[in-house]
Structure 1
Amino acid sequence: MDMTNNKSIILAISTLLCLFSPIAGQSVVPAKQDGFWYGGNTAAAEKVLIEAFFDPVCPDSRDSWPPLKKALRHYGATVTLVLHTFPLPYHDNAFATSRALHIVNTLNASATYGLLEAFFDEQEKFYGKATFNMSKAGVVNHIVEFTANEIGKSYLSAIKSGFTDTKTDHSTRVSFKYGCLRGVYGTPYFFVNGFPLPDAGSALDYKGWRKVLDSLVTKQDPLHHSL
């Protein structure tokens, strides 16, 4: 979501949420790096690293995914992506859908991005208007059933249990706090090799990704020729 005019407000909200969270008070360092690696490819010195912060119920996150996915296919092994969930506090059900992604990533990491795409494809089902008359438990059940339909009914019980496991709540909070520490204030938000791209909160099209990545890939691999 484009929050340029309200950047200071969102930064203030994010900072307060980080400061007054138990995780911040405990100064806990996560046992492993946050994020979902795309295609099983992890960071390496010879690769260009993209970090994406997405909210599963953010329309701009949804719109930014197809061109980024196309760019990843184009550059292949020379570019790697890690995705962090950043549930915006003003998006209903952002935290619960983000938590579903963390649960699935522990059950079957290869299904994580498929579930993200499913949330994007049917995002309207999880907007506040669609779930206004549901209880909190009803919303969670709605997300559990949707998730099981996407990754396999055999996972239904494990997904349901995941929503009562404090570890999945913790990991979803850690993702949000990691974004706060990096200065993320809206979604989508991208870093390339550790540096933030401009126009945070807006979808970047395929030409935009080519403009950013072509020269970086060439510097990394002089034998790579862009099409």
Structure 2
Amino acid sequence: MLVFPRRSALGLMATLALTACGTGHKTAQSSKAASGNQASETSPSASPAGEQSVETGVRTDSGYHLNTVLEGAPTVTLYTDLQCPYCARTDPTYREVARRLAGTMNLTVRHFPLPMHANALPAAQAVQAAEKQGAYMAMSGKIFEHQTEWKGLTDVAQLTEIFTGYARELKLNTDRFIADLPDAGGLKLIQDEFEAGNEVGVHGTPSFVIDGVLVEKVDSSTSADHMVAAFTEQAGL
């Protein structure tokens, strides 16, 4: 079933203009290998050591929250592309850091689908459709885990089938999931988050921003310990 026609997806990509796709983030490229709240739930994810991440179910203007919201605390925002292999490597580390910094800093995530990745936008749409059923983190973890299965697909129906299969594995309502894939609100949210990243100087993924300021020397090869240290140091904690 053609849920999100590729032409319309690429049309939106064209509006998300970058000066140079995937550049301006040298640390990631040079690593050793290349609004409204929802109900809480616990879902399986790609967390380290087989741990489970708890869905906060909370989205604010800062993005989707990976730990409990702490009013007035500094906020780290990860700009991520679901087709980016560096982002797939970063994902479990960032989730672990969110767990460690719970009660100290807010850690959020925003979409930044690079035009160089043809399936990044449809993948983001799948995550947004899952978020409507309280499974943002579960779906994003599943999509990252199986990135090699879908990143090179050119058939929209096959891509839709794969993402729907992930929804089924996560025990989501697949009829609702399919209906929500082309949701205009989800597309606008993705576009708004991309534009917000552009405004603070994001040009590649993964990129980390603390209260509007890019974090330097943190990339997909950074350990959880060093990531915690970098975040707290820049936040003055």
TM-score (norm 1): 0.71
**Contact 1:52-1:83 within 8 A present in 2 as well:** yes
The one-letter amino acid paired with 1:82 is T
Instruction: Calculate percent identity across the aligned residue pairs.
Output: 18
Q: How many residues in Structure 1 have an aligned counterpart in Structure 2?
A: 185
Helix, strand or coil at the partner of 2:71: coil
Give secondary structure in 2 for the equivalent of 1:78: coil
Deviation at 1:200, TM superposition (A): 6.8
How far residue 84 of structure 1 moved from its aligned partner, in angstroms, is: 0.1
Question: For residue 189 of structure 2, what is the amino acid of its counterpart?
Answer: S
**Structure 1 residue 112 and structure 2 residue 112: aligned?**
no
2:199 & 2:212 partners in 1: Cα distance? 13
The answer for the alignment partner of 1:126 in structure 2 is 150
The structure whose Rg is larger is: 1
What SS is found at the alignment partner of 1:160?
helix
Contact 1:54 1:86 in 2 (8 A): yes
Task: Give the corresponding residue for 2:116.
Answer: 90
Aligned to 1:71: 97
Deviation of 1:42 (Å): 2.7
Q: How does 1:51-200 map to 2 (within 5 A)?
A: 51-108=77-134, 111-128=135-152, 131-132=153-154, 135-150=155-170, 152-153=171-172, 155-199=173-217
Distance in 2, Cα, partners of 1:147 & 1:91: 22
1:163-220 Cα deviation digits (max 9, x unpaired): 2332222222222222222221111000123311124764432232132134467x55
4+ residue segments displaced more than 6 Å: none
In structure 1, runs of 5+ residues without a counterpart are 1-9, 15-29, 221-227
Q: Which runs of 5+ in 2 are unaligned?
A: 1-16, 22-34, 37-59
Q: Which residue of 2 aligns with 1:19?
A: none
Match status 1:12 vs 2:19: yes
Could you state the TM-score of these two structures normalised by the residue count of structure 2? 0.68
**Contact map agreement 2:164 2:177 (CA 8 A) in 1:** yes
- Are the equivalent residues in 2 in contact too, given 1:36–1:82 (CA < 8 A)? yes
Deviates more, 1:160-169 or 1:188-197: 160-169
Letter in 1 for 2:137: Y
Q: In terms of mean alpha carbon deviation, does 112-121 or 203-212 score higher? A: 203-212
Q: 2 CA distance for matches of 1:66 and 1:165?
A: 28
Structure 1 residues 71 and 163, CA, compared in 2 at 3 Å: closer, same or farther?
closer
More helix, by proportion: 1
* Residues 48 and 193 in structure 1, CA contact (< 8 A), matched pair in contact too: yes
- Counterpart for residue 36 of structure 1: 64
Shift of residue 76, structure 1, vs aligned partner: 2.4
Measure how far apart 1:66 and its partner are.
Answer: 2.2
Instruction: Give, in whole Å, the separation in 1 of the partners of 2:231 and 2:215.
Output: 11
Taking the aligned partners of 1:177 and 1:214, their CA distance within structure 2 comes to: 26
